[in-house]
Chains A and B, each alone.
Chain A
């Protein structure tokens, strides 16, 4: 009996462990292959120079790296406040209201919309009226992907803040909005930041919504109201190009993209953690 119990115990520990290995294998192999392929053409020129004309070797993706930073940054500026505040609304005021229900439903639907469709929407509402492809249009498309995700993440994060600390704030004679800003959002800061980081990582890797909004540009962008290069679109066009050196540079672009997202993630977490220990 005891032998059988020990056997089952071993199996029950082994199975989840095996699942972890199975999950991690693709991740490690993708990263490993990316580092292997990407590092071959990655050098200082790659991150400081513009692309060279066809036929000339060398050059880099400096304009695309900067472009990704600009477009994703703009999307964050547009999207993060709206997403977080909509989440605050859902968790604090829209719990049982009809509007809350509708917003929640739409956010869920919007998260499932294919990103190419979001690109078309941004093309229709921004590019067509403005008359040209632009960094703004790309940022609007990305913000549309970021907002629903962030709204739901923020809502979930705020719902985990214990009711009793809100009561404590109210009992001190604080208006409700100050409690939301000073206590609720502060307590839920960890999960909200995680949500922001996940959302940023996701939109930084999007290509489809940028194809006909931000378009591409082989040179430095001229203002935000014009076509701008981004890493993903540049990787896309280099990867399908019939030149070996372009294909190789596409790998380096992908590696740079991953490094950037990872660095940003680590940076934000370190800054957020350094002030106080998280609750729990």
Chain B
């Protein structure tokens, strides 16, 4: 059993009066892919956003409990920008900046203080190669990123997140807006990336969770109803509701 990269203890989250997450306990292991599955509105994206405090932006959001990143409480006295540099995020809809492909990837490192053109060039090239999009964009680095296809944009967004060298990568349904080919490319990419990063992925696609993840947590109405290693959870669910969900009886 590897030590935990992130451990969540007794986490409760409220949006105003809505109790959106109820007593969540969860361990996320390093160099593994953890998948969150569950029906819409069950809180899986919400928990993902608590891991790099993106929920701070939501008005009326209140959190109790502990989230430890390498045994440091991220809701304690931490530098929010440093936290988000360590815990990167990829969103559901590809959201590149309206800048050139190069500037999209270089944006993060540049603002974190890297000035040298040569170093930036290397970072950009490496990030784009890691996300297997280099060959497709190497001749259009100066073109506007919004001219890329949806799948390319999403891989660019992953490259942008990787360029600041995070330790954890949170992915919020990264393939739900993409076609099957692009989805396959991103899944393949994620399984390669897990060698260097800790990955948490929210997905509506059960097969995707089964294909790529090592650990799966199944959410329902703001609670984790089951969390187990993926093979076990899909082949032999302990909870009746998990079984109903993964066999498609609801959700």
Chain A residues contacting B247 (CB-CB under 8 Å) are none
Collect the chain A residues with CB atoms within 8 Å of residue B91's CB.
164, 167-168, 171
CB distance from B147 to the nearest CB of A (A): 7
Q: Would you give the 0/1 interface string for A154-170, flagging 1 where the beta carbon is closer than 8 Å to chain B?
A: 00000000101101111
Classify the secondary structure of A's interface with B.
helix
Which of A164, A165, A174 has the most B CB atoms < 10 Å from its CB?
A174
**A276 and B54 within 8 A (CB):** no
Min Cβ gap B137→A in Å is 16
Q: How large is the interface on B (under 10, 10 to 19, 20 to 34, 35 or more residues)?
A: 20 to 34
Shortest B56–chain A CB gap in Å is: 9
Tell me if A187 counts as interface (CB < 8 A to partner B): yes
Q: A33-49 toward B: CB 8 Å interface, digit per residue (1/0)?
A: 00000000000000000
A20 part of interface (Cβ distance < 8 Å): no
B89 in contact with A171 (CB, 8 Å)? yes
**Structural contact, A165 and B99, CB atoms closer than 8 A:** no
| Residue A131 at the chain B interface, CB threshold 8 Å | no
Interface residues of B in 27-48 (CB under 8 A from A): none
A171–B98 touching, CB < 8 Å: no
A contact residues around B82 at 8 Å (CB) = 173
Q: Count A/B pairs, Cβ under 8 Å.
A: 73
Interface members, chain A 254-280 (any B CB < 8 Å): 276-279
In the complex, whether B245 has a CB less than 8 A from a CB of chain A is no
**How would residues 191 to 202 of chain B score, 1 for a CB under 8 Å from any chain A CB and 0 otherwise?**
000000000000
Distance of A237 from chain B, by nearest CB (Å): 48
Contact A173 B97 (CB under 8 A): no
**A172 interface neighbour in B80, B100, B164, Cβ under 8 Å:** B164
Query: In the complex, how many angstroms separate the beta carbon of B78 from the nearest chain A beta carbon?
Result: 12
The interface size bin for chain A is 20 to 34
B97 touching A183, Cβ below 8 Å: yes
Nearest residue, chain B, Cβ from A166: B57
Question: Which residue of the partner chain A has the closest CB to B53?
Answer: A170
| C-alpha gap A31/B107 in the complex (Å) | 47
- Is the C-beta of A175 less than 8 angstroms from some C-beta in chain B? yes
Q: How far is the CB of B161 from chain A (nearest CB, A)?
A: 7
* B61: Cβ under 8 A from any A Cβ: no
Nearest to A171 among chain B residues (CB) is B89
CB distance from B131 to the nearest CB of A (A): 15
Chain B window 75-100, contacts with chain A (Cβ cutoff 8 Å), 1 for yes, 0 for no: 00000111111101101010111111
* A169 to B147 alpha-carbon distance, docked (Å): 20
Give Cα A183 to B82, complex, Å: 19
Q: Which residue of A lies closest to B107 (CB)?
A: A172
CB-based closest 4 A-B pairs: A173-B85, A171-B89, A173-B84, A164-B95
Query: Told that A168-B95, A170-B57, A171-B84 touch, could you supply 4 new A-B pairs with CB distance under 8 A?
Result: A167-B91, A171-B91, A173-B86, A182-B111
A-B contact pairs, 27 of them (CB 8 A): A164-B91, A164-B93, A164-B95, A165-B95, A167-B57, A167-B89, A167-B95, A168-B97, A168-B157, A168-B160, A169-B97, A170-B54, A171-B54, A171-B84, A171-B89, A171-B91, A173-B85, A173-B112, A174-B108, A175-B81, A178-B111, A182-B107, A276-B98, A276-B100, A277-B147, A279-B98, A279-B146
